[in-house]
């Protein structure tokens, strides 16, 4: 099977790391593991940070021009289907439906989503963008959903007969990693638990998550722990201020790290702590667990889909910073608990979220829709 792949938020070979990029890369690996030949159909970025109608008009015009370019390039040897990952209101897919219709091949989406952003004072700032996104992915022959919330949204939007199905969230747990050495500060004593956290330091929920971390650590200053904060961005000064009241001897700001460097730090950490406020999925949770690192997080949105409470980490009610702090204290104070969760975390990901298992599910569904389209 030959698959044309497109990600309107960010192409899978984009230079800036993110969860979207990682999922896109893993989807391509899953397709290839299942025997598919994959071509990135386009690297056009439809995503917009602003909801201006002028931007919408220009984006759509450019996207349709790109769709014609794609057709000119692939029509002589067309794919068996067109697969788009993560179209939503801030990143409509104008390319996939256009190309699939012209070539008379199936159009499939993965994680076609609805965002809760933009609703203020009874209005919807992204209304026109949302309409464009829904109009385009309503043309899909199949929607594959990682999250129950996305599935419910699509069924509500397009009716109970909409072609909607499930796909497990997965990660390439066996991926070859670079052997990168990580050195902790020389004054950090051995056997003191190392907490690791990482994210882009940008306005909004990312910065708010860092604030929550600092609040959760305040009552735990009498315990032994060291903290590594990885990430950079426009809000870095504010994030550093959150942790300014702590002894700086126990905190390392690692700056922006490459993906392999994040994994190297995780491999030497004892706890991964990211509250996960409004986290759609959170691939970094799976990455932590594959490294045998238990997770501290909240039961927010997609987090419970990838972290199993009591098996691969400890989850607390969303917005309950005290509960986050108590769960973290439990892991910091009980090395046996950390060790047990570390082992079960690796087993949990391999059993429930491996690339190999997801590849079989994905290819079975794609072959079925391709066969029914002929």
Evaluate whether residue 176 is within a structural domain.
Answer: no
DSSP line for 48-83? -SS--HHHHHHHHHHHHHHHHHHHHHHTTS--SEEE
- Predicted pLDDT of residue 179: 62
Does the pLDDT value for residue 111 go beyond 80? yes
Look at residues 257, 231, 227, 232 and name the one whose alpha carbon lies nearest to residue 243.
227
* Residue 16 banded pLDDT, cuts 50, 70, 90: confident
Least confident of 14-23, 133-142, 307-316: 14-23
Residue with tokens 């980490």: 313
Same domain, 330 and 280: yes
For residues 8 and 107, membership in a common domain is answered with yes
Structure letter (DSSP) for residue 195: E
Q: 178 pLDDT exceeds 60?
A: no
The closest of 330, 333, 297 to 312, measured between CA atoms, is 297
In CATH, what number is assigned to the domain containing residue 333? 3.40.50.2000
Measured at the CA of 215, the angle between CA 212 and CA 221, to 5 degrees, comes to 140
pLDDT bracket for residue 317 (50, 70, 90)? very high
**Whole-Å CA distances, 6 to 12, 93, 238:** 9, 9, 35
User: Per-residue pLDDT averaged across 171-198, rounded?
Assistant: 83
Question: Is residue 246 domain-resident?
Answer: yes
158 and 204, same domain (yes or no): no
Buried b / exposed e across 210-234, counting CB within 10 Å, b at 16+? bbbbbebbeebeeeebbbbbbbbee
> ∠ CA 366-17-260 to the nearest 5 degrees?
100
Q: Are both 134 and 200 inside the same structural domain? A: no
Whether residue 182 lies inside any domain: the answer is: no
Q: pLDDT for 277-300, tens place per residue?
A: 888 878 899 999 999 999 999 998
Residues 17, 126, single domain; the answer is yes
Asked whether residue 179 is assigned to any structural domain, the reply reads no
pLDDT value at residue 174: 66
Contact 89, 133 (CB under 8 A): yes
Which of 242, 243, 232, 228 minimizes the C-alpha distance to 202?
232
Co-location of 72 and 87 in the same domain:
yes
178 domain-assigned: no
pLDDT score at 177: 56
Please give the residue range of the domain that contains residue 32.
Answer: 2-170+354-373
96, part of any domain: yes
Average pLDDT of the residues in 342-361: 92
One domain, residues 217 and 238: yes
Residue 244 CB-density burial (10 A; 0-12 exposed, 13-18 middle, 19+ buried): exposed
Unique residue bearing structure tokens 């598919």: 36
Q: What is the distance in angstroms between the CA of the first residue and the CA of the last residue of the chain?
A: 13
- Are 329 and 360 members of one domain? no
Decide if 180 is inside a domain.
Answer: no
The separation between CA 154 and the C-alpha centre of its own chain, rounded to angstroms, equals 20
Same domain, 166 and 269: no
Check pLDDT > 70 for residue 308: yes
Q: Is residue 290 part of a domain?
A: yes
Record the tokens describing residue 29, joined without a space: 């690996």
At residue 351, the pLDDT reads 87
Q: Are residues 207 and 156 in the same domain?
A: no
Domain identity same for 124 and 146? yes
How many domains is the chain built from? Answer: 2
Give 67-76 contacts, CB < 8 A, sequence gap 24+: 67/42, 67/94, 67/95, 67/98, 67/99, 68/98, 69/42, 70/4, 70/41, 70/42, 70/95, 70/99, 71/98, 71/99, 71/102, 71/103, 74/4, 74/39, 74/41, 74/99, 74/103, 75/102, 75/103
* pLDDT band for position 227 (cuts 50, 70, 90): very high
Query: Which segments of 309-370 are extended strands (E)?
Result: 313-316
pLDDT band at 117 (very low <50, low <70, confident <90, very high): low
Instruction: Read off the pTM.
Output: 0.77
Cα–Cα distance measured from residue 313 to residue 232, given in angstroms and rounded to the nearest whole number: 26
Query: Does residue 360 share a domain with residue 333?
Result: no
């Amino acid at each position: 099977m030959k698959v044309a792949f497109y990600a309107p938020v960010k192409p899978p070979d984009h230079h800036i790391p993110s969860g979207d990029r990682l999922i896109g890369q893993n989807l391509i690996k899953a397709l290839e593991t299942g025997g598919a030949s994959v071509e990135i159909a386009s690297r056009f970025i439809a995503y917009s940070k602003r909801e201006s109608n002028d931007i919408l008009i220009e984006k759509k015009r450019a996207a349709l021009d790109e769709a014609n370019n794609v057709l000119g390039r692939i029509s002589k040897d067309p794919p068996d289907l067109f697969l788009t990952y993560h179209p939503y209101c801030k990143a409509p897919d104008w390319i996939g439906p256009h190309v699939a219709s012209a070539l008379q091949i199936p159009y499939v989406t993965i994680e076609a989503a609805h965002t809760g952003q933009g609703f203020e004072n009874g209005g919807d700032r992204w209304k026109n963008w949302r309409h464009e996104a829904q109009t385009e992915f309503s043309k899909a022959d199949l929607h594959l959903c990682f999250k129950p919330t996305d599935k419910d949204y699509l069924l509500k939007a397009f009716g109970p007969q909409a072609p909607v199905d499930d796909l497990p969230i997965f990660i390439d747990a066996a991926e070859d990693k670079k052997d990168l050495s990580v050195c902790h500060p020389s004054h950090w004593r051995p056997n003191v638990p190392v907490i690791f956290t990482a994210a882009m330091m940008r306005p909004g929920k990312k910065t708010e998550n860092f604030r929550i971390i600092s609040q959760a650590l305040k009552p735990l200053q009498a315990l032994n722990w060291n903290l590594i904060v990885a990430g950079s961005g426009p809000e870095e000064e504010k994030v550093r201020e959150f942790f300014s009241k702590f002894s700086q001897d126990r905190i390392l700001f690692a700056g922006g790290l490459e993906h392999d460097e994040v994994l190297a730090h995780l491999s030497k950490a004892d706890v991964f702590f990211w509250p996960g406020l409004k986290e759609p999925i959170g691939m970094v949770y799976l990455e932590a667990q594959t490294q045998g690192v238990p997770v501290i997080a909240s039961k927010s949105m997609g987090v419970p889909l990838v972290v199993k409470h009591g098996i691969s980490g400890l989850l607390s009610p969303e917005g309950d910073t005290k509960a986050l702090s108590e769960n973290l204290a439990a892991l910091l104070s009980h090395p046996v608990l950390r060790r047990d969760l570390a082992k079960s975390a690796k087993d949990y990901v391999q059993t429930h979220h491996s690339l190999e298992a997801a590849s079989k599910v994905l290819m079975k569904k794609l072959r079925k829709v391709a066969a029914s389209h002929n």
